[in-house]
Amino acid sequence: MRILLLTPPMTQLNTPYPATAYLTGFLRARGYAETVQADPALELVLKLFSADGLARVHSVLSAKKSKASFAPSCRHFLAEFESIKRVAPAAVRFLQGKDPALALRIVSREFLPEGPHFAAVSQWEGSVEGGLDAAFGALGIQDRAKFLASLFLDDLADVVRDGVDPRFEFSRYGEKLAASQASFDPLARALEDEGTLVDEILEEITSALVERHRPDLVGMTAPFPGNVYAAFRMAKLIRERSPETRIVLGGGYANTELRELREPRVFDFFDFITLDDGERPFLCLLEHLNGTRSREELFRTFVRDEEGKSARVRLISAPGLHDIPHREAGTPCYDGLPLGDYLSLLEMLNPMHRIWSDGRWNKLTLAHGCYWKKCNFCDVTLDYIGRYDAAPAARIVDQMEALVRETGQSGFHFVDEAAPPALLKAMADEILKRGLVVTWWGNVRFERAFTPELARKLAASGCVAVSGGLEVASDRLLELMNKGVTVEQVARVTRAFTDAGVLVHAYLMYGFPTQTEQETIDALERVRQLFAEGCIQSAYWHRFSVTAHSPIGRDPARFGIEILPEPQVTFARNDLPFHDPTGTDHEFLGVGLKKALYNYMHGMGLDEDVRVWFGSPVPKAKVPSALIRRALSTAPSAKSALES
Ligand code: SF4
């Protein structure tokens, strides 16, 4: 059976999303040798930014009547079109790492036509003594050029968004049509449209894939809402071109948002939708399509019964089946993906932040699920968080060695929900024992098991960065959310990592139930101190949302909020509308929080009173001015047992 696995646009451009690689490795190991994979998102961007693609973008813009109302990105594009078309393919090649010599021309600032995104450079030059030299030094030519070429590409992405298709971004496409959409109608209407140039190119790519591989089964993963519109577009075209091909959709979006699926029209595009880990449902599906398993024996798979008015959607999950244990899920296989064509982008002058978009990382997981699984805002009732299943350290390091051999790359990103400290320690010991040279980073909980000693060991094994949740940066709210950490503990753990040479990123949250204005300002003050004391180098504020599968979503009254009436759900459900009687203006505060963080991440404004970031008066922070410094001078807990 010929199987084609696809990640529909858009997710990321610097490295493949790992789902198809995991499934390809697994299926080939189970004897499905004709399993292939492709990354249409990368192909889409490379086609759009080729000389031919840019000429098509130019035609679309030229055909528009109201040029006076064009966004600055489009006006710049039209004015500089000939040079943009000439240099864009070279800039893409440079960002793919294929033409390092071009760096010297890019840093001259005479080579790339500079559009609106280059205002960031002027801003930086105006506010930091030494300008870009301060960020890159005199010899950092490659990085400086990468930064400038990334801004150039960001300008081109804006042209596509502003002039061709407002749904387009580098990391998502048509996201709003799918995210928490109770009704399928908006997506169905968009799919009936003939589409934009982006859709046209996507259809060309899809046609070519079908032509080349002639698949019996196409499996698509939609990790996020920003992949869903393109998945349906591609499925529609596959149906037209190859009606006998069966099509299945799975991935993070289905796992979280489609659990209450009732909409029969979805099955005009897909034959099957699977939930949670894909391996077992996929195996069952293949056996069904091979004729060795009945339809009623599928596993966690939505199907449509009947057609027309009597059509209904049903989730089939035969009893007695279970998921493939994590240790048996095989090693990801990247065969078929053009690893040399991914684009390394450097869009922000922050050493930790770049790690997400710069460089090629082999993605792996130490474990399935989260070993803590207690945070009240998290989807702990779902399989991807709630079912913890770890692989032995030796097996993980075996996988790392296999991936280095296959891809030639020794960088790893562990995409665990939260990597367990005991397992990380065992993995580090194994890496050191084998003398393996690798570079890795991943997501952790900032818990006290990460002692300075362990942080140093992880660094010695190749750890260069960690990310973890500090969330609301308030002990009262951390306790309410059951995060299991305190601010002082986070300060000590993050400092231990920093002292070991490991970069640290903190996930922050605002707008949590009952959070007051004073608590938000105090949280920012704690974050300021963490930056100032060198505990963290990068962070991001997320606005809290109630999700349907979190303890807060299940029992909102316990957290002092009320869920507002929802429309009837036949399609997607995730974020729930809610009312918090505390009445804090989180919209207003969010703007100041983000402004402050942007500055902190560039090493600026760390001595300022936190009130300066808000346009209107806010209360003075009540946090002691040396809170974090005091926490750091307190000896860390003698108890270094690895709790997991
Ligand atoms: S938020 Fe992170 S640490 Fe908390 S339960 Fe979810 S995955 Fe685990």
Q: Is 446 in the pocket of ligand 1 (CB under 6 A)?
A: no
**220 Cβ neighbours under 8 A, 6+ residues apart:** 5, 6, 7, 8, 231, 234, 235, 247, 248, 249, 250, 251
Tell whether ligand 1 has an atom less than 6 A from the beta carbon of residue 595: no
Q: Measured in angstroms, how far is the CA atom of residue 418 from the centroid of ligand 1?
A: 7
In this prediction, residue 642 carries a pLDDT of: 44
In angstroms, the CA 642 to CA 644 distance is: 6
Q: What is the pLDDT of residue 424?
A: 97
Long-range CB pairs of 399-404, under 8 A, 24+ apart, other chains included? 399/331, 399/332, 399/364, 400/362, 400/364, 400/431, 400/436, 400/438, 401/434, 401/436, 402/331, 403/331, 403/332, 403/334, 403/362, 403/364, 404/362, 404/436, 404/438
Ligand 1 centre distance from Cα of residue 417 (Å): 6
The CA–CA distances, whole Å, from 242 to 191, 213, 235, 304, 319 equal 18, 11, 10, 20, 33
Tell me the CA–centroid distance for residue 565 and ligand 1, in Å: 27
Which ligand 1 atom is at minimum distance from the Cα of 483?
4
CB-ligand 1 contact for 417 (6 Å cutoff): yes
| Cβ contact 196:165 at 8 Å | yes
- State which of 256, 445, 493 you would mutate to test the pocket of ligand 1, scoring each by most atoms of that ligand within 8 A of its C-beta: 445
- The reply to whether ligand 1 has any atom less than 6 angstroms from the CB of 375 is yes
Question: Torsion over CA of 208, 214, 220 and 226, rounded to 10 degrees?
Answer: 10
Mean pLDDT by 10 residues, the chain (644 residues): 96 92 96 96 96 97 85 95 97 97 95 93 80 82 95 97 95 94 97 96 97 98 97 98 97 96 97 96 97 97 89 95 90 93 90 88 93 96 94 95 95 94 97 98 95 98 97 97 96 97 97 98 98 96 97 97 95 96 97 96 94 95 93 64 40
- Which of 417, 512, 547 maximizes ligand 1 atoms within 8 Å of its Cβ, making it the mutation to test the pocket? 417
370 lines ligand 1 (CB under 6 A): yes
Contact 584, 593 (CB under 8 A): no
What pLDDT, on a 0 to 100 scale, did the predictor assign at position 319?
A: 93
Give the angle 168-174-180 at the CA atoms, nearest 5°: 145
pLDDT of residue 308: 79
Whether the CB of 288 sits within 6 Å of ligand 1: no
Q: At what angle do helices 40-48 and 51-62 cross, to 10 degrees?
A: 70
Please give the pLDDT value at position 635: 56
Please indicate whether residue 372, judged by its CB atom, sits closer than 6 Å to ligand 1: yes
In the prediction, which pLDDT does 445 show? 96
Residue 640: its pLDDT value, please? Answer: 44
What's the CA-to-centroid distance between 373 and ligand 1, angstroms?
5
Q: Whose CA is nearest to atom 7 of ligand 1?
A: 417
The Cα–Cα gap between 330 and 30 comes to: 9
Query: 6 near 218, Cβ under 8 Å?
Result: yes
Question: Closest residue (by CA) to atom 4 of ligand 1?
Answer: 375
Q: Taking a C-beta distance cutoff of 8 angstroms, is the pair 379, 259 a contact?
A: no
Q: In angstroms, rounded to a whole number, what is the distance separating the alpha carbons of residues 546 and 551?
A: 9
So what's the pLDDT on residue 475? Answer: 96
Residue 397, CA atoms < 13 Å, CB-side half-sphere = 21
Q: Which residue has the tokens 């003698």?
A: 638
pLDDT of residue 636: 55
Report d(CA 352, CA 356) in Å as an integer: 8
